[in-house]
Chains A and B, each alone.
Chain A
């Protein structure tokens, strides 16, 4: 029985899922009548389609349970990327929706293909976009290194700490993560601006006579990114470091290795999975970051997330914005695939 999947009695799998949904939506109904009704009917519609389709094709009940999350993610996660790809092949036109069709039927019945790769050619040929990609990679990369340098000692310290202290420190790392990301970035404005906390302290102590210009500089963007994503670096590092066998370190010490040698030959290699995971969790969101450069950075600082945002909201050029997103997607997928292969290799060992 262990390997076999549970056999679901007819339709109950589906009904139970819907039951929870209905109960939870009932909670929201008090707050938001019309919209919950819309969302709920969409969900029920989705489930009904899955159910009817399943009956027609002869799916087992097990498949009907699988269908709910599978269809949801298909429709609202995977399909959008195809729409994105399709629109990236269009041209911006003044209409609703503001992009050209991919083909046109001429009066004589022949079909003319209008899809083209011209947006990609435009983006890759334009130094503005190229620089935006490159500088995003640079900003994300440098921020990741700083987050690693700051996060590693903290993670190590927490992993070595004794029990009640360890849990408390861990909670302290997680706590800022639960507060608003936007407000944490905002806090830095108060810190860095001309009349901000840092300048006030430095002026008051007499170290400087003129306030330093820190806001709207690239440095402020680095600080903002490192600050925001530091918990994402610390947690995976902590998870690998806490599993580290202390006996290995003792053995190395007994055999005469200095703490430095022990660190570089034992601790660092063994914590590689945490370093890789943490770096990905910082690098990827930083690559597409919009809010931090918009609030803390100079207005001429090129970041690809910001370029995409402006292309969409200011220029209203949906096809170019889509192409920018597709290229960015490729930049994100490559490191993830690399990470996967690294992980697979480690598991094989």
Chain B
């Protein structure tokens, strides 16, 4: 074991360094006075000020938040229903189809998902007259669909781990299936649904490719605006924005981690 004694820690340290060095430098240079981003010109918070005066960026951020909230909520409902049907309904016709359709979005390249959904919307518009043009609605539908697949995976694993005798006991005591679902199943899987919602929210907030395909005029999401800015080169206010996002995520993940560890400790 002596060989592994030094090899693994060094590799792991290098690996974590690789993961974190770019993120750290992003945050450090967001406080840089100089416009040249990677040349240090003294400490300053001026880019944060500029960020909050950038109307286009703020509008896009607001659109992205709206899209992510609605899409994540819809994805949670659809994904939970899909997971519930797949784990609790036994065999039914079309189960294989549903399982396939609820898993495939996870491994589908984004360009394919985006293009095929856009073509669907265009075909639907010429056949049914809905959706009229592309914009927020189409982005929300697209995000809800691929996020629902992620929620389904999380909800499914929780439903499988859950002790089904609880549900059976409630049923034997005379509770109807709906009552069992809301009184027993839902409270037990609630933590999984919360993390599913959060994951869906993050994925929606983060998506550039699918949104670029299915979005329309006046519905540019935040990643779309950032992408068009970043394509022209580095820009310090993007660093400031990145630092804010990283800060929020770090705080949230730390809180979640602490809660999780407390929970596992009390369970022991």
* A interface list, Cβ under 8 A from B: 1-9, 12-13, 16-17, 20-21, 24-25, 27-28, 31-32, 35-36, 38-39, 42-43, 62-63, 65-66, 68-70, 72-74, 76-81, 83-84, 87, 97, 150-151, 153-154, 156-158, 160, 164, 167-169, 171-176, 178-184, 186-191, 193, 195-197, 200, 227, 230, 253, 259-260, 280-281, 284-285, 287-291, 294-295, 305, 308-309, 312-313, 318, 321-322, 325, 328-329, 332, 336
Query: Dominant SS at the B interface?
Result: helix
Query: Dominant SS at the A interface?
Result: helix
Q: Are A227 and B19 in contact (CB under 8 A)?
A: yes
Q: Are A171 and B78 in contact (CB under 8 A)?
A: no
**29 residue pairs A–B, Cβ–Cβ below 8 Å:** A1-B171, A6-B89, A12-B176, A27-B69, A31-B65, A38-B137, A39-B74, A69-B102, A72-B148, A76-B120, A77-B145, A97-B123, A97-B126, A150-B18, A151-B15, A153-B15, A154-B16, A180-B223, A181-B208, A182-B223, A182-B226, A183-B238, A187-B26, A227-B22, A260-B3, A289-B109, A309-B111, A318-B119, A328-B109
Closest to A280 in B: B107
Distance, CA A318 to CA B148, complexed state (A)? 27
A187 interface neighbour in B23, B113, B141, Cβ under 8 Å: B23
Q: Are B249 and A179 in contact (CB under 8 A)?
A: yes
Chain A contacts of B70 at CB under 8 A?
Answer: 25, 28, 31-32, 35-36, 39
B209 shortest CB reach to chain A, Å? 6
Chain B contacts of A259 at CB under 8 A?
Answer: 1-4
Q: Are B234 and A68 in contact (CB under 8 A)?
A: no
> For chain B, which range describes its interface: under 10, 10 to 19, 20 to 34, or 35 or more residues?
35 or more
A17 interface neighbour in B81, B120, B141, B172, Cβ under 8 Å: B81
Q: A189-B234, A288-B111, A325-B116 are in contact. Are A182 and B227 (CB under 8 A)?
A: yes
Does B117 have its Cβ within 8 Å of any Cβ on chain A? yes
A227 interface neighbour in B7, B18, B206, B250, Cβ under 8 Å: B18
Q: Are A308 and B253 in contact (CB under 8 A)?
A: no
Does B267 have its Cβ within 8 Å of any Cβ on chain A? no
* B interface list, Cβ under 8 A from A: 1-4, 7-9, 11-12, 15-16, 18-23, 25-26, 29, 36-39, 65-66, 69-70, 73-74, 76-79, 81-82, 84-85, 88-90, 92, 94, 97-98, 101-102, 104-105, 107-113, 115-117, 119-120, 122-123, 126, 130-131, 135-137, 140-142, 145, 148, 152, 164, 168, 171-172, 176-178, 180-182, 202, 205-206, 208-209, 212-213, 223, 226-227, 230-231, 233-234, 238-239, 241-242, 245-246, 249-250, 252-254, 257, 260-261
